[in-house]
Amino acid sequence: MAGATVQATQGDPMRPFGVAGLQLELPRADNFDLIAAEVAATKRVYPWIDMIVLGELCWFGPDLAAAQPLPGPLEARICEIARASNVWLVAGSLYERDGERIYNTSPVINPAGEVVARCRKIYPFTPYEQGVASGAGVTVFDVPGVGRFGVSICYDMWFPETLRTMAWLGAEAILHPSMTNTIDRDVETAIARAGAATNQVYFVDLNVAGMGCGRSGVYGPGGEIIHQASVGREIICVELDLDYVARVRDRGWHGLGQVLKTYRDSDVAYPPYVQGAQASDAFKRLGSLFYPMAGVSTDGGKDGG
C-alpha cells in the first residue's frame, strides 16, 4: 500500500471539509496514550472536524529501535483511535520495519478504522536520518464525496517534483507531517506557502512541538496564510473548501495566474525529468553526500581552503 494511488471517482461533488492539525508537545518516548487522548478531546470539542493530522515521528520520536511492522499491533491500535472518534486520521509518521529495511511511514486511516494508504518518506533527511530507506513514490488518496488529498513527509517538500506530481495526480490538498527543530524553519514555512501557490492546493504543514519547534501553518491555493501557529502546543482547526480550490485553478487566485493550466499547455520538455538527475554534469561536480564535520569539505579538504 506504500506509495499507493487511489483512483478518483469522476464527478463526485466536493464540499467543505474540517481538518484539525495537532501541534503537540511530545517527548522522545511512547506517546500513544497522550495522542489518543488529544485526538478524542479534539473531536469532542470540535465535533465538526472530519480529519485529524499529526506530526512526523510523533508516536516514539526519532528512535529507530522503536520501528514497527506495518500492518502490526501498533497500527491496529491507531486504527481504533480513528474509529472511536469517527475521523480520518493522517497519523503523523513512525519508523516502519519491513524486513531488513526501515522506512519513515505515515498511515492514512479512514473513520471506519481502515488503512487506505501508507506514505513512505521519499527523501529521508540524509545524511542525518541514517539507516532509513527511501519510499518509491508519492501518495494520494480520495475522501469519497470530498476530493483527493496528497501526503508529504517533512524533507520531501524541499523537492518540488513531489508536490507537482501530487497535483498532476489530482491532489487538491497536501497534508505534510513534519518534525523540525532547526534554524531553517523560516525557510520551510516559505517552501510550504510557495508549494501551495505553485500547485494551487491547500497545504497543511504540521510540525510537532517539544521535539520540534512548532510554527505549523495552513496555506490556501493562492499561497495565502490561513493560519500560522506559534511554537508550543496548539490545536489548529480549519475548514478546507475544495470547491474554492477548483475555482482558483479555473480563474486564478483573485483572477491572477492560472498556474496548472499554463503548465499543462506548455510543450517544454525539462531535461532533468527527461534525462534524469544522474545525467547532469553540474550535479556530478557537487561531490558525494556526506556528514558535515568541523573543517572538512566534501572532497576531504579543508572548508574554505
Domain boundaries, the chain: 16-268
Q: Which of 10, 85, 53, 71 is nearest to 206 (CA)?
A: 53
Q: Is the pLDDT of residue 12 over 60?
A: no
Mean pLDDT, residues 169-181 taken together? 97
Q: Is the pLDDT of residue 285 over 60?
A: yes
Q: What is the pTM of this model?
A: 0.92
pLDDT in tens, 235-258: 999 999 999 999 999 999 999 999
Contact 62, 91 (CB under 8 A): no
pLDDT in tens, 129-148: 999 999 999 999 999 999 99
At 291, the pLDDT band (50, 70, 90 cuts) reads confident
- The CATH code for residues 16-268 is 3.60.110.10
Q: Which of 219, 221, 218 is nearest to 249 (CA)?
A: 221
Return left, alpha or beta for 84; rule: phi > 0 is left, psi -120 to 50 is alpha, else beta: alpha
| Average pLDDT of every residue of the chain | 93
Of all residues in the chain, what percent carry a pLDDT higher than 70? 92
Q: Which of 209, 141, 135 is nearest to 174 (CA)?
A: 141
Of all residues in the chain, what percent carry a pLDDT higher than 90? 89
pLDDT in tens, 59-106: 999 999 999 999 999 999 999 999 999 999 999 999 999 999 999 999
pLDDT in tens, 17-76: 999 999 999 999 999 999 999 999 999 999 999 999 999 999 999 999 999 999 999 999
pLDDT in tens, 185-219: 999 999 999 999 999 999 999 999 999 999 999 99
Q: Measured in whole angstroms, how far is the alpha carbon of residue 11 from the centre of its chain?
A: 26
**What is the residue whose three cell numbers read 520495519?**
97
At 298, the pLDDT band (50, 70, 90 cuts) reads low
Q: Is the pLDDT of residue 3 over 60?
A: no
At 173, the pLDDT band (50, 70, 90 cuts) reads very high
Q: Which of 89, 142, 95 is nearest to 120 (CA)?
A: 95
Q: DSSP states of 97-153 as a string?
A: EETTEEEEEEEEE-TTS-EEEEEEPSS--TTTSTT-PPPSS-EEEEETTTEEEEE--
Q: Is the pLDDT of residue 2 over 60?
A: no
What is the four-CA torsion angle of 249, 250, 256, 260, rounded to 10 degrees? 50
